[in-house]
Amino acid sequence: MEEAVKAPVPEQEEYVINMGPQHPSTHGVLRLVVSLRGETVRNVEPHIGYIHRGIEKMCESITYPQIIHLTDRMDYLSAHINNEAVCLAVENALGIEVSDRVKVVRTILSELTRIQSHQLFWATFGMDLGGLTCFFYGLRDREMILDIFEETCGGRMIVSYNCPGGLMNDIHPNFQKRTKEFISYFRKTLPEYDRLLTGNVIFQERLKNIGVVNREQAIAWGLTGPVGRASGFSCDVRKHNPYSAYDRVTFKEILYDEGDSFHRYKVRMDEMWESMNIIEQLIDNIPAGSYAEKMKPVIKLPEGEYYQSVETARGELGVYIVSDGNKNPYRVKFRSPNFVHLAPLNLMSQGSKIADLVAINGSLDLIIPDIDR
């Protein structure tokens, strides 16, 4: 079977530039074929698949606990939250209720994951726009969270700490102390980030009114996470369909109306404050209990279909498992937020300049392995 409709042919006077798979600011192996007229962008066509590993196909031949290790590698900056999604899907399908301790620890680790993902976003976003110093400051602070992960979970970025039924191991005795130290340190450091970048006139001029998406477009294109919330679309899964311990903490959902790149950035900065609030509400009272429920050695889900959505740092991750009663799932589909966010890139960058394309791409905060799976 040959391909359907070919790609659109550029008009005369347009020339085509390739932001190749290796590029300092595409955050991964993303190839953008940009048609330009002068300095203005006419068409952006993403070519993906450079890191397509066939995760969904692989899931059809492995067991449910083994899927956890593949989910780490999709959106690797929200590794813990991806793990949590699959675990929750399996636990809800089997009707297992995990202990409070597990729920609280999962929530704390999810929020720490969110903070470190946004720190990396801040670091690379500043670097893309030319403020190279931001890269070092952001990563320096992120190291503190990665040290906490390493001590408790065994891995810095690829954690694989969740398993169906609970956690792989109990938390390290230093976990609470280190997390509290980090929170008190970061509360003092985060205003520095604002002083360096957010309040900077050059930065604001580069981002305001660039790549505007209004609320109807956000819903029609399925944009969730900080991208959707910056356009006024209230889509936080933690609020609408709470899971783990989110129903017992109070936090604000950050919403802005303008929908431009600057507000996508602002949403993430404000979310870091909210995440710290959530952690502070939970860190002192981690309930005692077991860290994992007793599960059968071979997990078989009853026949049927199960859908679970969680809020990763980038948006709503949906896990759709179709089971036929065996120990391997029949089909697993990951509805990844980045895959959906890449689609309107063309729409957002119509009429902007090349430099704005880099800004828009950065503000969407795409992780390419999550797109390709």
Which CB sits closer to another protein, 178 or 335? Answer: 335
Residue list 268-297, contact with another protein (CB under 8 A): none
Supply the minimum distance, in Å, between the C-beta of residue 284 and another protein. 32
Residue 16, SS3 per DSSP: strand
- 82 and 317 in contact (C-beta within 8 Å)? yes
Report residue 321: phi and psi, to 5°.
-110, 130
Supply the minimum distance, in Å, between the C-beta of residue 373 and another protein. 8
- 146 and 116 in contact (C-beta within 8 Å)? yes
> Is residue 219 a contact residue for another protein (CB under 8 A)?
yes
Q: What are 193's two structure tokens? A: 């980030």
Residue list 53-112, contact with another protein (CB under 8 A): 54, 56-57
- 71 and 318 in contact (C-beta within 8 Å)? no
Answer for which of 222, 232, 259, 369 binds another protein (CB under 8 A) is: 222
Piece in contact with another protein (CB under 8 A), picked from 124-132, 176-184, 185-193, 276-284: 124-132
Buried b (16+ CB within 10 A) or exposed e, 108-133: bbbbbbbbbbbbbbbbbbbbbbebee
Cβ atoms < 10 Å from Cβ of 192: 11
Which CB sits closer to another protein, 251 or 265? Answer: 265
> DSSP E strands: which ranges in 230-370?
304-311, 316-323, 331-335
Total interface residues for another protein by CB under 8 A: 71
- Rounded to an integer, what distance in angstroms lies between the CA atom of residue 58 and that of residue 86? 15
- Rounded to an integer, what distance in angstroms lies between the CA atom of residue 363 and that of residue 204? 13
Which CB sits closer to another protein, 2 or 13? Answer: 2
Which CB sits closer to another protein, 200 or 277? Answer: 200
- Rounded to an integer, what distance in angstroms lies between the CA atom of residue 242 and that of residue 310? 9
Burial category of 90 from C-beta neighbours within 10 Å (exposed 0-12, middle 13-18, buried 19 and up): buried
Q: What are 296's two structure tokens? A: 């059968």
Residue list 125-144, contact with another protein (CB under 8 A): 126-133, 135-137, 140
Residue list 225-254, contact with another protein (CB under 8 A): 233-235, 240
Supply the minimum distance, in Å, between the C-beta of residue 62 and another protein. 12
Element (H, E) at 306: strand 304-311
Which CB sits closer to another protein, 153 or 321? Answer: 321
Piece in contact with another protein (CB under 8 A), picked from 66-74, 97-105, 180-188, 196-204: 196-204
Supply the minimum distance, in Å, between the C-beta of residue 47 and another protein. 9
- Rounded to an integer, what distance in angstroms lies between the CA atom of residue 30 and that of residue 111? 28
Which CB sits closer to another protein, 6 or 188? Answer: 6
Q: Assign residue 225 a region (left: φ > 0; alpha: ψ between -120 and 50; beta: otherwise).
A: left
Residue list 312-341, contact with another protein (CB under 8 A): 316, 318, 320, 322, 331, 333, 335, 339-340
Which CB sits closer to another protein, 79 or 342? Answer: 342
Nearest to 238 by CA among 81, 12, 115, 131: 81
Which CB sits closer to another protein, 279 or 366? Answer: 366
Answer for which of 13, 24, 188, 294 binds another protein (CB under 8 A) is: 24
Q: How many residues does the chain have?
A: 373
Residue list 342-361, contact with another protein (CB under 8 A): 342-344, 353-356, 358
Which CB sits closer to another protein, 42 or 101? Answer: 42
Answer for which of 176, 198, 200, 281 binds another protein (CB under 8 A) is: 200
Piece in contact with another protein (CB under 8 A), picked from 19-27, 78-86, 177-185, 252-260: 19-27
